[in-house]
Amino acid sequence: MARKKLLMGEVARDSDLVFNTPASFLEFFHQINCEIVLELACGKAAYVRELAKRYPNRFFIGVDVKADRIGYAVERAREERLDNVAFLNIRIEDLADFFPENSVSEIWITFADPFLKPSKSNRRLTAPGFLEIYSKILKTKGLLHMKTDSDLLYEFSIESLTANPDFDILAVADDLYSVDDLPLDLVIQTPFEQKHLKNNLTIKYVLSLRKPESNCGNCSCCN
């Protein structure tokens, strides 16, 4: 297992689809001329890859700090011949160094670590510090999706988003698969989700929107 991780880490380091410095990524970023969607803590990027197949006219970027997971995602993306994906092997705390303000259309957070200890609540990906980063890089009316099996993270996210003046909550579901006419993008299941469902856990979902900076009622972003 350790050798496999080392090999996958080398794949990530050698790939032209993987970036870990702002300078190299921003040069690549400015060549993208379509909507950009991120998956944070993407792991092996199951969500990114499935969305990329469905939406060839958008560009998808998976973000994860673990190089071996990114390496696996790169291999699968090549096997699937996806030409609208890339990966950042970075800490999510550094996202604002890689993306200009108002440049990302959607962010997905799928089954992130809930950090159960209260002393680590600031590491939850919907903690106030992270929401501040997302509000900078998301476009006006950009979307933030979160799927989780954790009651704690679900409730924490609702509280955090409600308290944040930059976001409006559009939808919540404490049992996603009990919802009628579920959008197909929400039916995508990562290996983590499949495991949770086999263990009879319910999947929760929160959808929020980055508010316009000023609700003047006349500009295109407010209408």
Catalytic choice (113, 151, 166, 180): 113
Task: Determine contact, residues 116/146, Cβ cutoff 8 Å.
Answer: no
Tokens of 18: 């993987």
Q: What pairing do the DSSP bridges indicate for beta strands 138-148 and 104-110?
A: parallel
The maximal CA–CA distance of the chain, rounded, in angstroms, is: 59
List Cα–Cα distances, 82 to 33, 36, 108, 153, 218, in angstroms.
17, 15, 19, 32, 40
Please spell the DSSP secondary structure of 186-212, one letter per residue: GG---HHHHHHHHTTPPPEEEEEEEPP
Instruction: Tell me how long the chain is.
Output: 223
Q: Residue 174 catalytic?
A: no
Q: How far is it, in rounded angstroms, from Cα 51 to Cα 82?
A: 11
How deeply is 193 buried, as exposed, middle or buried, from its count of CB atoms within 10 A (0-12, 13-18, 19+)? buried
Containing structural domain, residue 17 = 2-222
Q: How many domains does the chain have?
A: 1
Per-residue pLDDT of the chain (223 residues; tens, 9 = 90+): 677 778 878 888 888 999 999 999 999 999 999 999 999 999 989 999 999 999 999 999 999 999 999 999 999 999 999 999 999 999 999 999 999 999 999 999 999 999 999 999 999 999 999 999 999 999 999 999 999 999 999 999 999 999 999 999 999 999 999 999 999 999 999 888 888 889 989 999 999 999 997 544 445 444 4
216 φ, ψ (degrees, to nearest 5): -75, -25
**SS3 state at 153:** helix
CATH of the domain at 60: 3.40.50.150
pTM: 0.92
Q: How far is it, in rounded angstroms, from Cα 102 to Cα 84?
A: 20
Task: Determine contact, residues 100/137, Cβ cutoff 8 Å.
Answer: yes
